[in-house]
Structure 1
Amino acid sequence: MEEVQVLTAPGLNGSGPQHWQTIWENLPGFKRIEQNNWDQPELKDWIKNIEDAVAKAGPDVVIAAHSLGCLALAHWAQHTKLKIRGALLVAPPDADRTDFPTVARSFAPAPLQPLPFKSIVVSSTNDQYASLQRQKTYAESWGSRFVNLGEAGHINAESNLGEWENGQTLVEELVRNWGTL
């Protein structure tokens, strides 16, 4: 088993060099869940790659997902027998919107069943891919703690978060206090 504490799960098109996930991947204990095709995602492939990465990392891993990666993780959770410590679910998009990207339609509808692990949904009041209310619905349905960052856009590279220390604190909370959330 690898010594990975945190797996990152980027969304559609992956996370570029200025994205907080990519920056975190330069830290010890962080590793990206790679996907076969970031630009033409297929849900079944993404679920398989999450399964493989978690199997390799072991049950003490936390997943830090962004955008479509959140939906992939929620779908994965409905199919897996593997355990994880928890997940940070940042800016999950609304898969039921009419303007949801056609290339990602296999991810709709979004699962609304409770997740079998501790989780935190992080949202923004001005995310162009999901309303604050939709993201609150995800948090309630998934049994997640809800964190509102205020006006932070899609909480991606354009949000200029850099290393996003507050996000790292939330991940540390999941890594250290997974039994007490």
Structure 2
Amino acid sequence: MNPMQRLILPGWMDSDADHWQSRWQRLYGYAKVEQADWQWPRRGDWMARLDEVLLALDDPAPVLLVAHSLGCQLVAAWAEHSRHTARVHGTLLVAPPDTEHDAMPPQLHNWRPIRRGRLPFKATAVLSSDDPYCALARGAEMAGQWGATVVMAGPRGHLNSASGLGDWPEGHALLDDLAAPGP
């Protein structure tokens, strides 16, 4: 088992009990970054919370971030501003939403503009061809700007519990690949 700590970063409204992130918490004991407000997420608050959690870790080993949906936008925004990005070895970015799309609910408007800077650590982005929250071309564009390797999941919706992924072993294999040494 790789000694890297894995931090779960759920999206808007948190991950329900059947979501692969929640299953990974139960199966592997991964820690989740809890947010004070899952209903009205404020980007600055979520970024500060990620910093707090990283600084509170007792283990100085590198960390893998496991982000879904708005958690992906959190990683991109946090990486542009935090002084603690060196703590992160890599990130799995699953189903990043297009928060600039006109159809996004008002609770997510403060996540505009999308941060597009290249991430300072390894990244893999998993995209679905029929994600209702992000067109495939838009997701691929964001992933490219972030410097992430793109993995196509096929038509799997938003890659959440409604997608029927269960424990999602394919996703966990991608996370394990990110834990490998090197750039």
CA distance in 1, matches of 2:27, 2:161: 17
Structure 1 position 29, deviation (Å): 4.6
**Partner of residue 13, structure 1:** 13
SS in 1 for 2:78: helix
Corresponding letter in the other structure for 2:168: W
Corresponding letter in the other structure for 2:129: T
**Partner of residue 179, structure 1:** 182
Corresponding letter in the other structure for 2:182: G
CA distance in 2, matches of 1:178, 1:143: 18
1:147 to 151, 154, 159: 151
**Partner of residue 65, structure 1:** 67
Structure 1 position 166, deviation (Å): 0.6
**Partner of residue 74, structure 1:** 76
RMSD of Structure 2 on Structure 1 (CA): 1.3
Unaligned runs of 5+ in 1: none
Corresponding letter in the other structure for 1:62: L
SS in 2 for 1:78: helix
Aligned residues: 177
Partners of 1:59 and 1:85 within 8 A in 2 = no
Which of structure 1's runs of 4+ aligned residues deviate more than 4 A? none
Moved more, 21-30 or 102-111: 21-30
1:100 matched to 2:104? The reply is yes
Partners of 2:72 and 2:94 within 8 A in 1 = yes
Unaligned runs of 5+ in 2: none
**Partner of residue 37, structure 1:** 37
Q: Deviations over 1:114-157 (max 9, x none)?
A: 00110001000000000110110011100000001000000000
* Identical positions, percent: 36
CA distance in 1, matches of 2:124, 2:164: 21
TM-score (norm 2): 0.93
SS in 1 for 2:73: helix
SS in 2 for 1:62: strand
Moved more, 154-163 or 47-56: 47-56
**Partner of residue 138, structure 1:** 142
CA distance in 1, matches of 2:53, 2:111: 19
Partners of 1:4 and 1:31 within 8 A in 2 = no
